[in-house]
Amino acid sequence: MLTYSRPQLIGQAVSSVCAQSFQDWELIIVQDGSNPDTDCLLHEWLAKETRIRYCARGTVGSIAEASNFGLAHARGEYVAILDDDDHWNLPDKLARQVDFLDRNPEYVACGGGYIVLDRDGQQRGALFKPETDLAIRARALLANPIVNSTAVFRRVVNGEPVLYDTSMRQFADWDFWLTMGAKGKLYNFPCYLAHYALWEGGSSFQNQKANGRAAIRIVRKHRRHYQGYALALTLAWLYYLYACLPTLFRRASYGGLSAFKKVLASSRGASG
């Protein structure tokens, strides 16, 4: 779990980890930079839960750098990601995913569906990602094929620890999942595993131009491993051009367009 400056949100995320029926976990919380309120809150958690490890980097960096810092401290066979403003909504989430990866060694990662919440905690949608590896590969260049906060992946693949590409300053997670998909199969459970926060104060809105440039680079980088290159590159360029529009227009339209993009890269299914 990466955290920067959102102490008002992280408590719910930590609680959803502690509520898991699967008990053999460690929670590594990576603090990027410093925040006294977050530090105080997390030390309260440390006092009552020995499986939580708090790793303050003491510097502000990219998501890829902070993620690699956390991975360097991880000891388990599998790694789950949970953003500090999201939370898991099924108590058997980890149990389901660990069992799946135990039984299917050809798969390197699995995720699932998610429920979208706005900044007031109101539900704005519920979406599934494509389920099968084949379906995932057909849409992976359009958008992130796995939602971070639903994911569990193998920490070591083909004898090598997996790492994020630190040259990716934006959309490092999308690049990471496409890289993982080049190493093995991916799967998304057809059920809702997490509540996902989507709001205009988030980094996705603040960094739209940089995100657009990164999207173009990622589509080009991974074009040989996935389908739909021409469409994906066109959409990436449109995203960048949209990011160049006035802020007031983008703020008014951001929620709707983000929801449309998620639907475009998602799949229908039945929860369970």
pLDDT tens digits, 45-87: 999 999 999 998 878 888 999 999 999 999 999 999 999 999 9
Composition of the chain by helix, strand, coil, percent to 5? 45, 20, 35
How confident is the model at residue 24, as a pLDDT?
97
Q: Answer with the residue of higher pLDDT: 263 or 266.
A: 266
The pLDDT-based confidence of 270 (bands split at 50, 70, 90) is very low
How confident is the model at residue 50, as a pLDDT?
95
What are 109-121's pLDDT values in tens digits? 999 999 998 877 8
Structure tokens at 82: 């949970």
pTM: 0.87
| Averaged pLDDT of the chain | 89
Which amino acid does the sequence have at 149? S
What are 8-42's pLDDT values in tens digits? 789 999 999 999 999 999 999 999 877 788 889 99
Exposure string (b/e) for 33-62, b if CB count within 10 Å is 16 or more?
Answer: eebeebeebbeebeeeeeebebebbeeeeb
Q: How far apart are the first and last CA of the chain?
A: 26
How confident is the model at residue 269, as a pLDDT?
47
How confident is the model at residue 271, as a pLDDT?
41
User: Sign of torsion, CA 217 84 197 162?
Assistant: positive
For 2-264, give the CATH class: alpha beta
What are 180-222's pLDDT values in tens digits? 999 999 999 999 999 998 765 455 556 788 889 999 999 999 9
Angle, helices 36-48 vs 7-18, to 10°: value is 20
